Amino acid sequence: MKVTGMQPNQIRLSIPEGYLAFLANLPWDHRLEDWNRHKVRFVPVKSGLSRHIVRFVESNGHSFAIKETTAESALKELANYHHLKELEIPTLHPVGVVERDDGTLRVETPIGEQIDQNSTAYLITEVMEKVIPDSHLFRRSFTLKSRQRIWDAVIHLFISLHSAGVYWGDASLANMLVRFTTERIPEMGSRTKLAAILADAETVEIHPSISDRMRLSEIEFFLESMLWTEADLKASGIVRDPMMTREDSDYILTHYNERFALGQEMRSFELVTRIDVDRMLGMVDVKGYGTLLLKHINEHKWYLSEKGGKEVPLVESAHDWYNEVFKPVCRILTGHGMGTLFPDKTASTLYVEIMEHKYLMSERQKGDVGLVAALEDYLGKFGKQQLAGISIPSLVRALTSFFTRPQPPVQNSYLP
Ligand SMILES: Nc1ncnc2c1ncn2[C@@H]1O[C@H](COP(=O)(O)OP(=O)(O)O)[C@@H](O)[C@H]1O
Ligand SMILES: [Mg+2]
Tell me how far apart the alpha carbons of residues 3 and 101 are, in angstroms, rounded to a whole number: 12
Q: What is the pLDDT of residue 411?
A: 46
Residue 415 lies in a domain: no
Question: Is residue 162 packed enough to be buried (19+ CB in 10 Å), middle (13-18) or exposed (0-12)?
Answer: buried
Q: State the CATH number of the domain containing residue 252.
A: 1.10.510.10
Q: What is the pLDDT of residue 4?
A: 38
pLDDT-derived band at 64, boundaries 50, 70, 90:
very high
- 261 and 170 co-located in one domain: yes
pTM, entire model: 0.84
- Residue after which a domain boundary falls, among 238, 269, 300: 269
- 263 and 294 co-located in one domain: no
Rg from Cα positions in the chain: 27
In testing the pocket of ligand 1, which one of 43, 45, 73, 136 has its CB within 8 Å of the most ligand atoms? 45
Residue 113 lies in a domain: yes
Whether residue 54 has its Cβ less than 6 Å from ligand 1:
yes
Residue 413 lies in a domain: no
* pLDDT higher than threshold 60 for residue 413: no
**Ramachandran bin of 141, using left for φ above 0, alpha for ψ from -120 to 50, beta for the remaining angles:** left
With pLDDT > 70 as the criterion, what percentage of the chain qualifies? 92
| Neighbouring C-beta atoms of residue 386, cutoff 10 Å | 12
* pLDDT higher than threshold 70 for residue 93: yes
- Residue range(s) defining the domain that contains residue 330: 274-403
Counting ligands in written order, the one closest to the CA of 53 is 1
Average pLDDT, the chain: 87
pLDDT-derived band at 137, boundaries 50, 70, 90:
confident
Quote the ligand 2 centre to 370 CA distance (angstroms).
57
- 278 and 265 co-located in one domain: no
Q: How many helices (H) and strands (E) does the chain have?
A: 13, 10
Q: What is the pLDDT of residue 102?
A: 83
Most confident of 3-17, 71-85, 281-295, 336-350: 71-85
* pLDDT higher than threshold 50 for residue 395: yes
- As residues whose CB is below 5 A from the ion ligand 2, the structure lists 50, 175, 200
Whether residue 125 has its Cβ less than 6 Å from ligand 1:
yes
Residue 178 lies in a domain: yes
- 35 and 146 co-located in one domain: no
Q: What is the pLDDT of residues 178-230, one digit of tens each?
A: 998 888 877 777 778 899 999 999 999 999 999 999 999 999 999 999 988 88
- Residue after which a domain boundary falls, among 126, 154, 186: 126
Which of the two residues, 311 and 410, has the higher pLDDT score? 311
Beta strand extents in 70-128 (DSSP E only): 94-109, 112-126
Q: What is the pLDDT of residue 382?
A: 66
pLDDT-derived band at 278, boundaries 50, 70, 90:
confident
* pLDDT higher than threshold 70 for residue 349: yes
Mean pLDDT of the 335-351 span: 82
Q: What is the pLDDT of residue 346?
A: 81
Treating both helix axes as pointing N-terminal to C-terminal, what angle do 314-321 and 246-273 enclose, rounded to 10 degrees?
120
Q: What is the pLDDT of residue 407?
A: 60
What DSSP assignment string belongs to 172-208? -GGGEEEEEEEEEETTTEEEEEEEEEE---TT-EE-S
Mean pLDDT of the 127-133 span: 84
Residue 408 lies in a domain: no
Residue 300 lies in a domain: yes
Mean pLDDT of the 235-251 span: 83
